[in-house]
Amino acid sequence: MNYFPDEVIEHVFDFITSHKDRNAVSLVCKSWYKIERMSRQIVFIGNCYAISPEGVIARFPELKSLTLKGKPHFADFNLVPHDWGGILYPWIEAFAKSRVGLEELRLKRMVVSDESLELLSKSFVNFKALVLVSCEGFSTDGLAAVAANCRFLRELDLQENEVEDHRGHWISRFPESCTSLVSLNLACLKGEINLSALERLVARSPNLKSLRLSRAVPLDALQKILMRAPQLVDLGTGSFVHDPASDAYNKLKATILKCKSIKSLSGFLEVAPRCLSAIHPICHNLTSLNLSYAPGIHGNDLIKLIQHCRKLERLWILDCIGDKGLGIVASTCKELQELRVFPSDPYGVGNAAVTEEGLVAISAGCPKLHSLLYFCQQMTNAALITVAKNCSNFTRFRLCILDPTRPDPVTMQPLDEGFGAIVQSCKRLRRLSLSGLLTDRVFLYIGMYAEQLEMLSIAFAGDSDKGMLYVLNGCKKLRKLEIRDSPFGDTALLTDVGKYETMRSLWMSSCEVTLGGCKTLAKNRPMLNVEIINEDDQIDFSSDDRQKVGKMYLYRTLVGPRKDAPEFVWTLSRRWVGTDLVKQHNSNSSKFLTMAGQEKSQKSQGWSKNPVPSGWNCHNIGVLSKNYCTRIIGYEDLKGTMA
Amino acid sequence: MPFSLCFHFAFSFPIKLPFLLSHFIPLESNTSTNPLSTYNNLRILHQVFFFFKFATMEGRVTYENDDLNLKATELRLGLPGTDETDDHEQAISNARNNKRPSPDTTDDCVNKSRSDEAAPVAKAQIVGWPPIRSYRKNTLQPKKTEAEAPGIYVKVSMDGAPYLRKIDLKVYKGYPELLKALENMFKFTIGQYSEREGYKGSEYAPTYEDKDGDWMLVGDVPWDMFMTSCKRLRIMKGSEARGLGCGV
């Protein structure tokens, strides 16, 4: 089958970087599977409970970079209890034991303890990059261990984590010999920082391109730091408050002029609006601007700033910019690709800070816009239809109307037609979040038109099971579905249970799903973990199956029920013992591959010994029809990403 | 007898209540700076609803034709977020009954005191909505309180009590909460506040010493002004108390 030696094929594979492509490549034949597996260095695992660390190591022994995601997305909004899971330590332990040459670790929504950070820092000599997003469970002591022991650290990126700050001068733990830093993001730290140690660190890091400071770094310290790093490309300021008439402020203005490479600006965690003029000189170069954590900047100051930013591609801002400000953005930032407008007063009745008008203006003025997150007080169908007409490039469209069931205020109709127009027009839409008053009709449209949709978030929407069924039947590429407070029940849940093995996960909370429905779902699905989050013992598992389930989270997995589930999480699925399954994997994989070229046999002898569900048997390697692709889930997981 | 009373009340309910409500519920045009009257208005309403509850013979108050958004002004015990299904229904019924203030009333929308007490509390009670990461919420929201000095502690004395107490005024968002806390702390009841007659209906009157050294009745000035001018609190009892409130 191979016309070239393995080394040549491996070299070709080096050019294949996307996970999906590598997965596809690994399914072609046995030898490609082996070559791909031995050469894969970057592994993405979308759900840390879909596979065990040992399974990953067995398959990808040359792994250098790992991305892991833990808690479900709705954990961001306090819907998941605190100690649900997503614990990092077992992964580090397993990797350390097997002497994996880990160099990069990217985590999202995981629980990271100081012990795991310490073990990480000591076990992987060439460790280079640590990126933690929305994680928790660690303190600055863990960071100190990373600083002290990772001699070749290039990237330490802490985004929006809950870090316990012990103010122990952890920055000073970076040895004098550490000169390799390229990216340092400390914005989420709340405590004091040893400013002179930080300045020295920056001074001895000539490759530093990205630096994001915390609130504890005042404006004068910023100036000193910038003097040491005029080569910065990405800057996050800390506290930006000073007397504009002072020397320190004037010094800063002069220093900023020297930083000609800054393309991305963020921070302003505390800001005096009169100081903003200091950054006007560098605005014309900016491609990315994040003012979404800057409180109290009025619309006019924002407008003055934005008028200079003609090259802006990404803008994150608070809704105090107002519709008028968004109009200015639309006329100034013609290169805009991503816009996020956050609410400055989420619970207030408040003025209508931004409405549909702002969005329409943006859609008319920014033809390259493809990613949107928009919090507003109200939205109309007419506006959404106009947006859909103006901008058909959306890949991510997330609209959050602060009152979750608000209809179109002009016509008092649900927003079905508006969102319908969006999905019909934006053929490349991959992610969609809905809000406002919505009936089953919007889901009919989504099922019909949103062919590329991978992630859908639903809240307070729909009338009946039909809504959910439209989506499950229509969106072939759906990977993540999360639903809250919507009237979808067992019928919708159980109509096509095979679908869930083609998806990463399904979240349903405050819906009409019952315990009996979940049990039925889990009964013949060993590849699914159906977890019920039973807070406050609301559900009595021994009694009535007609009880409604408050929170259900199900996901496909190769390793059965997880062993670290806390007592309030009940997994309804058949028992699989982890280690046995790993053996089965390996033996299955060889069996699986020897079937290449053989007659496709439905239930051959070799399979029946192993409790592999019937979905596996229809494999015909070499000819991958669309049907197979959607059903070869577990093995796709094994061969590809745990997506 | 109570039953017929209820029916009577229920019968007169549609007639009287709108009048009552328009009088007391701070609708858009209310520019009253007297939060305490609002509080008392809500207490009246609460008592009204209590009757209504009996009349409907159910454990829960239901608001069938909730034209006046009465449910939103219902005073109830319990932590925010515990009543999700109610909120959902209410949110739906709000939408269907078109109960949002129209955007036209721009001048009056900026009435924060209204939003604190009479506006739909349901919005703040839906867990996890709006979908904003906790990190972002924690970073932006407490910004307002962090910047200020640590708590305003004032001594509270009560006539006849063996020792004084201290409370942090910052903890309370307004007079109703402060008074409730005092009631709990000293185990007494404060009467109804009215501008004319002070605290009617009980032996006690909450007073405070202001910056000038004068003893003032709690509740006359806006809460923020009170917080900055209050140096100590004293709960007067008996004839002295009545003397203060006596409209001479």
**Mean pLDDT computed over B14-19:** 46
Cis peptide bond upstream of B14, omega within 30: no
Contact A274, A299 (CB under 8 A): no
Which residues of chain A, if any, have pLDDT below 50?
A: 575-643
CB A234 within 8 A of CB A264: yes
A403 touches B: beta carbon within 8 Å: yes
Q: Do B115 and A348 touch (CB under 8 A)?
A: yes
* Residue B40 predicted with pLDDT over 50: yes
Model confidence pLDDT, tens digit, residues A34-55? 999 999 999 999 999 999 999 9
Closest chain A CA to residue B93: A405
Instruction: State whether B131 and A485 contact (CB < 8 Å).
Output: no
Residues contacting A311, CB < 8 A, separation 6+: A284, A285, A286, A287, A333, A335
Residues 415..444 of A with a Cβ closer than 8 Å to B: which?
433, 437
In this prediction, residue A600 carries a pLDDT of: 32
Distance from CA of A518 to the nearest CA of B (A): 21
Pairing of β A528-533 and β A569-571: antiparallel
Contact B101 A293 (CB under 8 A): no
How confident is the model at residue B35, as a pLDDT?
Answer: 53
Across the interface, of A400, A405, A484, the residue whose CB is closest to B92 is A405
Establish how many alpha carbons lie within 13 A of residue B239's alpha carbon, considering only the half-sphere containing its beta carbon.
Answer: 0
| Residue to test with chain A: of B82, B85, B140, B145, most A Cβ within 10 A | B140
pTM of the full structure: 0.69
Those residues with Cβ within 8 angstroms of residue A5's Cβ, 6 or more apart along the chain or in another chain: none
> Is 90 exceeded by the pLDDT of residue B172?
no
pLDDT of residue B41: 56
pLDDT at B18 over 60: no
Query: Is some CB atom of chain B closer than 8 A to the CB atom of A352?
Result: yes
- Give the residue from A190, A341, A401, A403 with the most B CB atoms within 10 Å of its CB, the best one to mutate: A403
H, E, C per residue of A318-373: EHHHHHHHHHHHHHHCCCCCEEEEECCCCCCCCCCCCCHHHHHHHHHHCCCCCEEE
**Residues contacting residue B224 through CB under 8 Å, at least 6 positions apart:** none
Does the distance separating the beta carbons of A409 and B135 come in below 8 Å? no
Distance from the Cα of A316 to chain B's closest Cα (Å) equals 13
Determine the distance from the C-alpha atom of residue B25 to the mean position of all C-alpha atoms in its chain, rounded to a whole number: 12
Cβ neighbours of A342 in B, within 8 Å: 132, 136
**Which chain B residues contact residue A79 at CB under 8 A?**
127-128
pLDDT in tens, B89-102: 444 444 444 444 34
Q: Which residues make Cβ contacts (< 8 Å) with residue A590, sequence separation at least 6?
A: none
Pick the residue from chain B with its C-alpha nearest to A136. Answer: B135
Which of A160, A352, A409 has its CB closest to that of B133?
Answer: A160
What does the alpha-carbon distance between residue A437 and residue A343 come to, in Å, rounded to a whole number? 20
Q: Which residues contact A185 (CB under 8 A, 6 or more apart)?
A: A156, A157, A158, A159, A210, A211, A212, A236
- Bridge partners of A482, per DSSP, are A457, A507
Nearest CA in chain B to A294: B140
Q: Please, what is the average pLDDT of chain B? A: 64
- A&B contacts, CB < 8 Å: 98
Encode pLDDT of A83-140 as tens digits: 999 999 999 999 999 999 999 999 999 999 999 999 999 999 999 999 999 999 999 9
